[in-house]
A and B are shown apart, each in its own frame.
Chain A
Amino acid sequence: MAIQIVMDRNGDTRHNFDAEDLNAVSKAERRFNELTGAGFTAAIRTADGDPVVTRTFDPTAEETLFFPRLVGG
Chain B
Amino acid sequence: MVVRLLGISDDQLWRVLAPCSRWARAFREWYQRPSISEVRGCELLTEWLSAEQFKQYGSYNYFEVIGCHTGNRYRIRHGTGMNVYELDDVGRPRAGWCFVPNDNLVAGDVMLAQKIALETDERAALAVAKNFSPR
Contact = CB atoms under 8 A, between A and B. Distances in A.
A7 B113 CA distance: 9
B69 to A, nearest CB: 13
Which DSSP category, helix, strand, loop or mixed, fits chain A's interface?
Answer: strand
Interface of B: 36-41, 44, 48, 50, 81-82, 98-106, 108-109, 112-117, 119-121, 124-125, 128-130
A52 B98 CA distance: 22
Interface string A38-73: 010101010001111100000000000101111111
Interface residues of A, number: 24
B75 to A, nearest CB: 16
Contacts of A8: 103, 105
Nearest to A70: B99
Contact of B82 (A50, A53, A73): A73
Contact of B120 (A12, A49, A51, A71): A51
